[in-house]
Chains A and B, each alone.
Chain A
């Protein structure tokens, strides 16, 4: 079964750090680009970061650039998001999602269940 399982969320004070992990199974992780997408309470979806299969290409949303770092370990079938200098507005459920393609059309076909990050004093 194709599966993504996030972990590492929790309560952190403003200015603090947190590292999220996403464990992949049931598919060849090293062949796929991956994304982090977040959803603030009661709000819509916001793309956070993208990493290509070989880590050669990385993108960040402007809202997290310079504070968050995406990485992956293909040997461990794992995706990571290091979050530093956290702010109240980073409070959200964080999802990892697989970047799939059909011909040239990309989409997020597989999602994890999400991990909750709460930034509060």
Chain B
């Protein structure tokens, strides 16, 4: 199985800050990388698919980059509603696997 390693596991930041979350795959997955946002008690929500494509309805402050084994999710200017946990997922090969998540907290 392909292992997905996210970093950091958590971060404390402020509204307006630029936030970067990293995801590394244990082998090359081309651009088969998706990012999800999850708020407490809610289902995950797709933000980015195919490494850099923004899902419809997702604010443009979210962006994704990378290919191969190293990927990044960037929030250009953090908003109050962005405090949540973010997960990466590889869809390159079965079984699809997720990272352990990055919790973005208020400083």
Using a CB–CB cutoff of 8 Å, the interface residues on chain A facing chain B are 35, 44-47, 50, 59, 61-62, 95, 102-103, 105-109, 111-114
Task: Name A's interface SS.
Answer: strand
Q: Which residues of B contact A (CB under 8 A)?
A: 31-32, 34, 36, 42-46, 49-50, 53, 55, 87, 89, 91, 94-101
Chain B residues with Cβ under 8 A from A105's Cβ? Answer: 31-32, 49-50, 53, 91
Q: For residue A59, which residues in chain B have a CB less than 8 angstroms away from its CB?
A: 94-95
List the A residue with the shortest CB-CB distance to B30: A105
Residues of B within 8 A of A95 (CB): 43-44
A-B pairs, top 5 by smallest CB distance, nearest first, are A105-B50, A107-B49, A111-B43, A45-B98, A107-B34
| B95, A47: Cβ atoms closer than 8 Å | yes
Pick the contact of A108 from B31, B46, B94, B99 — CB < 8 Å? B46
